[in-house]
């Protein structure tokens, strides 16, 4: 892999925020070194959990001062593309495993004016991206099985990230690599070194004594 300078973005996952003090946690992210808000939408069908939906995203949009990075863990995401756009999503990421016609889904997301992302579950190989990578703005690699926060990082994800970086460079794509699950101060630097651009962190940030300082440390991990 070429030795190139990679961007470093932090996207705190509001799934781990305190929903009784959600405005406080949103303002913390607004005032921190974080770059995006990461919003996990789960339907209890595609993944074994239910999170929040469009009304909550609309409410977050009113307070958030940074882009909303919306990750759909739902079946039939095509049905809701415009609704998430109208709710305030700046980026919309769908799963390879959930899309019957992925090319069309990505096309529709981009036509709506959002950045389009594609997610790979831990069991899904990188070669599934080969035909779609020129159209994709973000590749989100799950480093845990999706559905719940606070899980342990799957170590083989590092190799998967390197393969994704190689594919991006070979294809000439400008896609950013995002990774989500089990990320903390112990593995952040290794993930940057492997080729990651964006770290999604929930528990590590919101359960720390000083969330804003933790965000700063994650962004500057060495």
pLDDT at residue 146, as a whole number: 81
In the annotation, is 33 catalytic?
A: no
212 contacts 28 by C-beta, under 8 angstroms: yes
pTM for the model: 0.94
pLDDT at residue 151, as a whole number: 77
pLDDT at residue 53, as a whole number: 95
Which position among 25, 43, 69, 180 bears the catalytic label? 180
**pLDDT tens-place values along the chain, 222 residues long:** 333 456 899 999 999 999 999 999 999 999 999 999 999 999 999 999 999 999 999 999 999 999 999 999 999 999 999 999 999 999 999 999 999 999 999 999 999 999 999 999 999 999 999 999 999 999 999 999 887 766 789 999 999 999 999 999 999 999 999 999 999 999 999 999 999 999 999 999 999 999 999 999 999 999
Q: What is the rounded distance in angstroms from the CA atom of residue 11 to the CA atom of residue 202?
A: 9
In the annotation, is 190 catalytic?
A: no
E-assigned strands of the chain?
Answer: 9-12, 37-42, 68-73, 91-95, 115-120, 138-142, 176-180, 198-201
Which position among 40, 43, 69, 137 bears the catalytic label? 40
128 contacts 98 by C-beta, under 8 angstroms: no
Q: What is the rounded distance in angstroms from the CA atom of residue 177 to the CA atom of residue 168?
A: 9
CATH topology of domain 9-219: TIM Barrel (3.20.20)
- Residues ≥6 apart with Cβ < 8 Å to 112: 81, 82, 85, 92
pLDDT at residue 1, as a whole number: 37
């Amino acid at each position: 892999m070429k030795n190139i300078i990679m961007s470093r973005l932090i996207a705190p996952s509001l799934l781990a925020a305190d929903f009784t003090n959600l405005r406080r946690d949103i303002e913390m992210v607004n005032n921190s070194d974080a770059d995006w808000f990461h919003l996990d939408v789960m339907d209890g069908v595609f993944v074994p959990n239910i999170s929040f939906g469009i009304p909550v995203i609309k409410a977050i949009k009113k307070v958030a001062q940074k882009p909303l990075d919306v990750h759909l863990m739902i079946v039939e995401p095509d049905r809701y593309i415009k609704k998430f756009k109208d709710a305030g999503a700046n980026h919309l990421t769908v799963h390879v495993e959930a899309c019957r016609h992925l090319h069309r889904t990505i096309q529709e997301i981009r036509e709506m004016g959002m950045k389009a992302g594609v997610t790979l579950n831990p069991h899904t190989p990188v070669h599934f991206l080969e035909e779609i990578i020129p159209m994709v703005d973000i590749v989100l690699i799950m480093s845990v099985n999706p559905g719940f926060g606070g899980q342990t990082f799957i170590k083989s994800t590092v190799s998967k990230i390197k393969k994704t970086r190689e594919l991006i460079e070979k294809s000439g794509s400008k896609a950013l690599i995002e990774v989500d699950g089990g990320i903390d101060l112990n593995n952040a630097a290794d993930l940057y070194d492997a080729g990651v651009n964006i770290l999604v962190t929930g528990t590590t940030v919101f359960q720390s004594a000083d969330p804003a300082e933790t965000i700063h440390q994650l962004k500057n991990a060495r």
